[in-house]
Structure 1
Amino acid sequence: MSPGDEHDGYGGSGQTRTRLPEGNTGDVHGGTRRPARGSRSLLMGVGVVVLLVAAIALANRGGEPSDASPSTTTPGKAATAPTGTRPVTGTNGTVPTGHAHDEQGAQSAAANYAVALGSTDMFQKGPREAIVRAVYAPEVVDDLLKRLDASYSPELMASLGLESNGNAPSGLTFVSRTVPVGTKIKEYGEDTATVEVWSTGLVGLAGEGSTRPVTSNWFTLTQKLVWSGGDWRISSSSQTEGPTPVNGDNRASVAGEIAEAVEQYGGFTYAR
Structure 2
Amino acid sequence: MSLGDENGYGSGSGRTDDGYSTIGGTRQTRTRLPDGEGGDGYSTPRRPARNSRSLVTVVGVVVLLIAAIAFANMGGGGADGSGGSGNGGSKPDSSSTAATGTKPVTGKNGSIPTGFAHDEQGAQSAASNFAVALGSVGMFNTDTRRSIVEATHDPSVVESLLVAMTKAYSPGFLENVGLNEDGTAPSGLTFVSRTVPVGTKVVKQSGDTATVEVWCTGLVGMAGQGSTKPVTATWFTISEKLKWVGGDWRIESSSQTEGPTPVNGDNRASTADEIAGAVDGYGGFTYAR
Band the TM-score falls in, shorter-chain normalisation:
0.7 to 0.9
Where does structure 2 lack aligned partners over 5 or more consecutive residues?
1-21, 29-48, 65-92
Which of 104, 107, 120 matches 2:121?
Answer: 104
1:40 Cα deviation from its structure 2 partner = 3.2
1:202 match = 219
Which structure has more RCO (C-alpha within 8 Å, separation ≥ 6)?
1
Contact 1:89 1:99 in 2 (8 A): no
Q: Is the 8 A contact 2:123 2:249 kept in 1?
A: yes
Secondary structure at 1:130 match in 2: helix
Is contact 2:62-2:165 (8 Å) kept?
Answer: no
User: Structure 2: how far apart are the matches of 1:155 and 1:82?
Assistant: 45
Task: Show the 5 A alignment for 1:193-232.
Answer: 193-232=210-249
Give the Cα–Cα distance (whole angstroms) in 1 for the partners of residues 217 and 56 of structure 2. Answer: 12
| Residues 1:105 and 1:83: Cα distance change in structure 2 (over 3 Å) | closer
Q: How many residues align?
A: 216
Q: Contact (CA 8 Å) 2:133, 2:148: kept in 1 or not? A: yes
CA 127–203 in structure 1, closer or farther in 2 if over 3 Å, else same: same
Q: Does 1:270 align with 2:288?
A: yes
C-alpha deviation, 1:77, in angstroms: 6.0
Where does the alignment leave 5 or more consecutive residues of structure 1 unmatched?
A: 1-32, 53-75
CA contact (8 A) 1:49 1:117 kept: no
* Identity in percent: 61
Following the alignment from structure 2 to structure 1, what is the Cα–Cα distance between the partners of residues 277 and 99? Answer: 26
CA contact (8 A) 1:219 1:240 kept: yes
Cα shift readout 1:41-98 (whole Å, capped 9, x = no counterpart): 643432225536xxxxxxxxxxxxxxxxxxxxxxx86523468964112110111101
Change (3 A) 1:237 1:83: closer
Distance in 2 between residues matched to 1:166 and 1:91, nearest whole Å = 25
Asked if 1:138 corresponds to 2:155, the answer is yes
2:60 matches 1:48: yes
TM-score, normalised to structure 1, is 0.75
Q: Is the 8 A contact 2:235 2:258 kept in 1?
A: yes
| Counterpart pick for 2:187 among 147, 162, 170 | 170
Q: Quick one: which amino acid aligns to residue 38 of structure 1?
A: R
Cα separation, 2, equivalents of 1:144 and 1:210: 32
* C-alpha contact 1:50 1:114 (8 A) present in aligned 2: no
- Greater C-alpha Rg: 2
Which residue pairs with 2:250 in the alignment?
A: 233
Counterpart residue number, 2:51: 39
- Please tell me the root mean square deviation across aligned C-alpha atoms, in Å: 2.0
The one-letter code of the counterpart of 1:150 is K
Does 1:248 find its partner at 2:287?
no
Counterparts of 1:82 and 1:267 in 2: how far apart (Å)?
Answer: 22
Q: Is the 8 A contact 1:220 1:241 kept in 2?
A: yes
User: Does the 8 Å CA contact 2:60/2:238 hold for their aligned counterparts?
Assistant: no
